[in-house]
Amino acid sequence: MVKKIGILTSGGDCAGLNAAIRAVTHRAETAYGWQVFGIRQGTSGFLQHPPEMIPLSISMMDQGMLRQGGTILGTTNKGNPFHFLMPDGSYQDLSDRIVEGIRQANLDAIIGVGGDGSLSILRSLAQKGDFKIVAIPKTIDNDLGVTEKSIGFSTAVSVAVEALDRLQPTAASHDRVMILEVMGRDAGHIAIEAGIAGGADVILIPEIPYDIAHVVNKIQSLKDSGRNYALIILAEAAREVSGAEGVKRGLGEMLAKQVEERTSAECRVTVLGHVQRGAQPTAKDRILATALGVYAVDLIHQGKFDRMVAWQNRQVVDVPILEAIKAYHAVDVDGVMVNTARALGICMGDV
Ligand code: F6P
> Residue 6 and residue 102: Cα distance in Å, rounded?
10
The CATH number, out of the four listed (3.40.50.800, 3.40.50.450, 3.20.20.140, 1.10.150.120), of the domain defined by the range 4-152+281-312? 3.40.50.450
Cis amide bond preceding 55, omega within 30: no
Nearest-atom number in ligand 1 for the CA of 77 is: 15
Instruction: Check pocket membership of 36 for ligand 1, CB cut-off 6 A.
Output: no
- For residue 232, give the nearest of 263, 274, 277, 275 by alpha carbon: 263
Q: Do 156-277+333-343 and 4-152+281-312 fall under one CATH topology?
A: yes
Instruction: Check pocket membership of 15 for ligand 1, CB cut-off 6 A.
Output: no
- For residue 291, give the nearest of 24, 3, 52 by alpha carbon: 24
Instruction: Check pocket membership of 140 for ligand 1, CB cut-off 6 A.
Output: yes
Beta carbons within 8 Å of 130's beta carbon, 6+ residues apart: none
pLDDT of residue 13: 97
Q: How many CB atoms lie within 10 A of CB 6?
A: 26
In single-letter form, the type of residue at position 195 comes to: G
Helix (DSSP H) and strand (DSSP E) numbers for the chain: 11, 13
Instruction: Check pocket membership of 138 for ligand 1, CB cut-off 6 A.
Output: no
Q: Taking the C-alpha atoms of 210, 214, 220 and 223 in order, what is their torsion angle to the nearest 10 degrees?
A: -60
> Residue 106 and residue 132: Cα distance in Å, rounded?
11
Distance 236 CA to ligand 1 centre (A): 10
Catalytic residues: 141
Nearest CA to ligand 1 atom 14: 12
* Helix intervals (H) in the chain: 17-32, 64-67, 95-105, 116-129, 153-174, 189-197, 212-224, 251-262, 283-302, 321-326, 336-343
pLDDT of residue 249: 81
Distance 296 CA to ligand 1 centre (A): 25
Domain 156-277+333-343 has CATH 3.40.50.720: no
Asked if 40 and 52 touch (Cβ cutoff 8 Å), the reply is yes
Phi, psi of 183, deg, nearest 5? -75, 175
Task: Tell me the best of 77, 193, 205 to mutate to test the pocket of ligand 1, counting ligand atoms within 8 Å of each CB and taking the most.
Answer: 77
Distance 10 CA to ligand 1 centre (A): 12
- For residue 198, give the nearest of 229, 234, 233, 238 by alpha carbon: 233
Write out the chain's pLDDT in tens, 351 residues: 669 999 999 999 999 999 999 999 999 999 999 999 999 999 999 999 999 999 999 999 888 999 999 999 999 998 799 999 999 999 999 999 999 999 999 999 999 999 999 999 999 999 999 999 999 999 999 999 999 999 999 999 999 999 999 999 999 999 999 999 999 999 999 999 999 999 999 999 999 999 999 999 999 999 999 999 999 999 999 999 987 666 668 899 999 999 999 999 999 999 999 999 999 999 999 999 999 999 999 999 999 999 999 999 999 999 999 999 999 999 999 999 999 999 999 999 999
- For β-strands 307-312 and 202-204, DSSP reports them as unpaired
What is the b/e burial string over 283-293, where b = at least 16 CB atoms within 10 angstroms of the residue's CB? ebbbebbbbbb
Phi, psi of 289, deg, nearest 5? -60, -40
pLDDT of residue 181: 98
Nearest-atom number in ligand 1 for the CA of 236 is: 8
pLDDT of residue 244: 62
Helix, strand, coil abundance in the chain, percent, nearest 5: 45, 20, 40
Q: Where are the domains of the chain?
A: 4-152+281-312, 156-277+333-343
Nearest-atom number in ligand 1 for the CA of 277 is: 4
Q: At what angle do helices 283-302 and 153-174 cross, to 10 degrees?
A: 170
Nearest CA to ligand 1 atom 8: 185
Nearest CA to ligand 1 atom 16: 274
pLDDT of residue 243: 77
